[in-house]
């Protein structure tokens, strides 16, 4: 007698040490109140996938190098681990995208939770941390980068085209009985349901919807450009303010010199009125006094410098209309491209405590933000231990970074080439005078030994991230930062899983 073939539970086909069980166990330890608050509580509408299911699915697939929403949706059909997570259900690509877009803030808030879990395992030792930055490709083309004048021209043309397309659609809708779509108040997705009808009526509506979405994208890029001035603009503003402050100081010194000269002249006039014979030659007028002439010359020089700076503002800001958060930056070996400058801070075992992007290819202005972000993440995780020594290469060396108070006990930043500074290669180490204090700090034997650990801490981290996730951020705009946090969250969870699997 042939035995009956009954359906097999997919959970019975996976061994006990499979990755999916660890992912499910860790997501059970997460506080998902931030996710659950985004859902309706009145029971109306179709029941969504539970956020714990979607989160476990996203993290499991990313741990297996499945990054895009289409790959995650496909895994629910042909990957046993994904089918165990979803319980045999099949969320599609739009469901995954909707989950990621809805819970942006909650997803970023998971990084401090991984710090809490890692700290309980003894993996978060902040006595020595190291930071660095590198460039990754953005999901945008350099050809979409325009300056403000071109962007405004594109917006004007698109507005005219949208008005013409809306008129054309309204004319056709009047003949077919269609209704006017709401396109302008609710963002790019407004009116996405579409009108009833076929033929030229529907085609005109789709053309109108496409133009409206493009117009909203250009307007969003212009708003981003105004709220995120370029580094060049910021540096020019700081230089202009510095020049104007110099004019103010020189003017004050001129007033002081004139006051002293006037006081001296008044004393001589009073003595002469009393009939007292004064020694020396007759003094020149106040403006011909030596100190006054020097002060006048300094005021003229400072004023000319300030006027020259004000007359030469930087070129108009440029922004990428596809992904405003990215910029044209040089790569390490492949020339210029549309990229993000990602910044990370990690402890000795490459456990990430802070990660983010910086909108300039220069790392100098990213140091303060990165350290404060790490401190905030640690505080959120309930880790009150102060950050001990923070190590950075010479790309972060600047007067501002050396004089600003940072939330660390000791800051060590290379003031020259790291290979020369650490002794890996012979060669002179030139140090600007303003950086001598930091150079002396690095020269201390204990600090010199600590700084040699920088490359071993942070460089393998980027190699591990790129090996698993590639060198491209696939999402655009603010969602690219969320994707970067998902990199760090998945990376930290895998560290915890490997630690728990080690024998005692």
Integer Cα distance of 502 and 464 in angstroms: 20
The confidence score (pLDDT) of residue 427 equals 58
The helix/strand/coil state of 279 is coil
Integer Cα distance of 419 and 265 in angstroms: 63
Question: Mean pLDDT across the stretch 381-396?
Answer: 93
What's the pLDDT tens digit per position in 463-493?
A: 999 999 999 999 998 899 999 999 999 999 9
From 385, 362, 357, select the one nearest 373 (Cα to Cα).
357
The confidence score (pLDDT) of residue 188 equals 40
- Count of other CB atoms within 10 angstroms of residue 30: 23
The confidence score (pLDDT) of residue 177 equals 47
What CA dihedral angle connects 95, 44, 38 and 324, to 10 degrees? 50
Question: Mean pLDDT across the stretch 405-412?
Answer: 93
Q: How far is CA 175 from CA 83, 183, 191, in A?
A: 50, 20, 20
Is the pLDDT reported for residue 154 higher than 60? yes
Q: pTM here?
A: 0.76
pLDDT band at 282 (very low <50, low <70, confident <90, very high): low
| 76 or 6, greater pLDDT | 76
pLDDT band at 199 (very low <50, low <70, confident <90, very high): low
Is the pLDDT reported for residue 284 higher than 70? no
| 240 or 77, greater pLDDT | 77
The confidence score (pLDDT) of residue 85 equals 94
The confidence score (pLDDT) of residue 81 equals 93
Is the pLDDT reported for residue 30 higher than 50? yes
Sign (positive or negative) of CA dihedral 408, 106, 465, 357: negative
Question: Mean pLDDT across the stretch 284-306?
Answer: 83
Across-strand partners of 253?
A: none
Question: Mean pLDDT across the stretch 379-400?
Answer: 92
From 106, 496, 151, select the one nearest 316 (Cα to Cα).
151
Integer Cα distance of 258 and 110 in angstroms: 64
Question: Mean pLDDT across the stretch 106-110?
Answer: 95
The confidence score (pLDDT) of residue 231 equals 61
Question: Mean pLDDT across the stretch 364-383?
Answer: 94
The confidence score (pLDDT) of residue 436 equals 84
Alpha-carbon Rg for the chain, nearest whole angstrom, is 32
Is the pLDDT reported for residue 405 higher than 80? yes
**Are 230 and 325 in contact, with CB atoms under 8 Å apart?**
no
Among 132-136, 141-145, 202-206, 414-418, the range with the most confident prediction by mean pLDDT is 132-136
Percent of the chain topping pLDDT 70: 85
State the chain's mean pLDDT as an integer: 84
From 198, 208, 126, 111, select the one nearest 168 (Cα to Cα).
208
| 239 or 93, greater pLDDT | 93
Task: Locate the domains of the chain by residue range.
Answer: 10-106, 112-140+323-487+497-501, 145-227, 231-313
Question: Mean pLDDT across the stretch 397-422?
Answer: 82
pLDDT band at 185 (very low <50, low <70, confident <90, very high): very low
pLDDT band at 1 (very low <50, low <70, confident <90, very high): low
Question: Mean pLDDT across the stretch 26-48?
Answer: 86
Question: Mean pLDDT across the stretch 19-29?
Answer: 94
Is the pLDDT reported for residue 270 higher than 60? yes
The confidence score (pLDDT) of residue 281 equals 61
pLDDT band at 61 (very low <50, low <70, confident <90, very high): very high
């Amino acid at each position: 007698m042939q035995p009956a073939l009954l359906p097999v539970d997919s959970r019975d086909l996976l061994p006990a040490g499979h990755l999916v069980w660890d992912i499910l166990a860790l997501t059970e330890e997460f506080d998902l109140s931030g996710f659950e608050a985004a859902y309706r509580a009145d029971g109306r509408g179709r029941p969504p996938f539970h956020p714990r299911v979607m989160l476990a699915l996203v993290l499991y697939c990313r741990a297996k190098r499945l990054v895009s929403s289409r790959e995650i949706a496909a895994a629910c059909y042909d990957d046993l681990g994904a089918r165990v997570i979803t319980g045999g259900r099949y969320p599609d690509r739009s469901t995954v995208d909707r989950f990621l877009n809805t819970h942006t803030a909650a997803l970023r808030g998971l990084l401090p939770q991984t710090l809490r879990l890692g700290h309980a395992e003894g993996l978060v030792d902040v006595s020595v941390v190291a930071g660095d930055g590198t460039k990754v490709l953005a999901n945008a083309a350099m050809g979409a980068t325009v300056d403000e004048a071109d962007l405004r021209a594109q917006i004007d043309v698109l507005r005219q085209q949208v008005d013409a397309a809306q008129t054309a659609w309204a004319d056709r809708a009047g003949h077919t009985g269609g209704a006017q779509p709401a396109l302008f108040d609710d963002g790019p997705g407004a009116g996405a349901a579409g009108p009833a009808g076929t033929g030229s009526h529907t085609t005109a509506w789709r053309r109108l919807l496409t133009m409206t979405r493009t117009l909203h994208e250009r307007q969003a890029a212009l708003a981003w450009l105004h709220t995120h001035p370029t580094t060049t603009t910021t540096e020019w503003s700081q230089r202009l303010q510095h020049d104007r402050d110099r004019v103010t100081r020189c003017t004050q010194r001129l007033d002081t010199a004139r006051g002293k000269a006037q006081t001296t002249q008044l004393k001589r006039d009073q003595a002469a009125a009393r009939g007292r014979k004064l020694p020396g030659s007759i003094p020149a007028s106040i403006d011909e006094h030596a100190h006054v002439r020097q002060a006048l010359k300094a005021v003229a020089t400072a004023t000319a410098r300030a006027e020259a700076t004000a007359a030469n503002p930087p070129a108009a800001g440029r922004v990428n209309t596809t992904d405003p958060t990215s910029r044209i930056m040089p790569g390490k070996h492949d020339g210029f491209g549309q990229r993000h400058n990602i910044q990370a801070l990690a402890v000795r075992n490459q456990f990430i405590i802070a990660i983010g992007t910086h909108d300039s290819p220069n790392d100098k202005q990213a140091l303060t933000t990165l350290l404060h972000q790490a401190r905030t993440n640690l505080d959120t995780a309930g880790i009150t231990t102060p950050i001990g020594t923070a190590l950075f290469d010479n790309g972060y060396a600047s007067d501002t970074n050396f004089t600003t108070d940072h939330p660390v006990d000791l800051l060590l930043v290379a003031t020259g080439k790291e290979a020369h500074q650490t002794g890996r290669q012979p060669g002179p180490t030139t140090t600007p005078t303003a950086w001598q204090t930091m150079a002396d700090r690095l020269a201390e034997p204990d600090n010199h030994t600590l700084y040699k650990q920088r490359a071993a801490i942070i460089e393998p981290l980027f190699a591990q991230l790129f090996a698993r996730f590639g060198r491209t951020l696939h999402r655009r705009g603010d969602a690219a930062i969320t994707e970067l946090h998902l990199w760090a969250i998945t990376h930290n969870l895998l560290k915890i899983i490997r630690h728990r699997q080690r024998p005692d």
